[in-house]
Amino acid sequence: MDNKETQTIGFRVTADELAQLDARASDRGMSRAELVHAVVFAPDNSARIAQLEKQLHELADRLAREAEPQENRRCNNPEHANLFGVGHCFICDIPMQSSH
């Protein structure tokens, strides 16, 4: 980028704000100007973040429903019954349904 095509801007900050700006820039290995430029022109990912948060909440809700007590569930798959007989279905990880 040629200097003829750019503009310099400036703004005032307090001494505390300047110290914070310098610390953040230093932590990232950047100059003040590079940090300000990166922050101001960073892409807005808020819509994508909101979508991911929604998916995360839906997944957490689904996992919570699946983790609810399952004491009354029984495997009634005839193929599983042929494999394991009575007792416990190791495929479904639940007790086998009684045939009585």
In the chain, the amino acid numbered 8 is T
Task: Quote the DSSP letter at residue 5.
Answer: G
Residue 79 inside a domain? The answer is no
Q: How far apart, in Å, are the Cα atoms of 23 and each of 36, 41, 66?
A: 12, 20, 46
Q: Which domain holds residue 12?
A: 3-72
Dihedral (Cα; 44, 47, 53, 56), 10-degree rounding: -110
Residue 83 inside a domain? The answer is no
* Number of domain units in the chain: 1
Residue 88 inside a domain? The answer is no
Residue 82 inside a domain? The answer is no
Return the higher-pLDDT residue of 22 and 8: 22
Residue 90 inside a domain? The answer is no
- Model pLDDT for residues 13-32, shown as the tens digit of each residue: 999 999 999 999 999 999 99
Structure pTM? 0.47
- Bridge partners of residue 95, in order along the sequence: 88
Residue 15 inside a domain? The answer is yes
Number of H helices, E strands in the chain: 4, 2
- Model pLDDT for residues 63-84, shown as the tens digit of each residue: 888 776 666 788 888 898 888 8
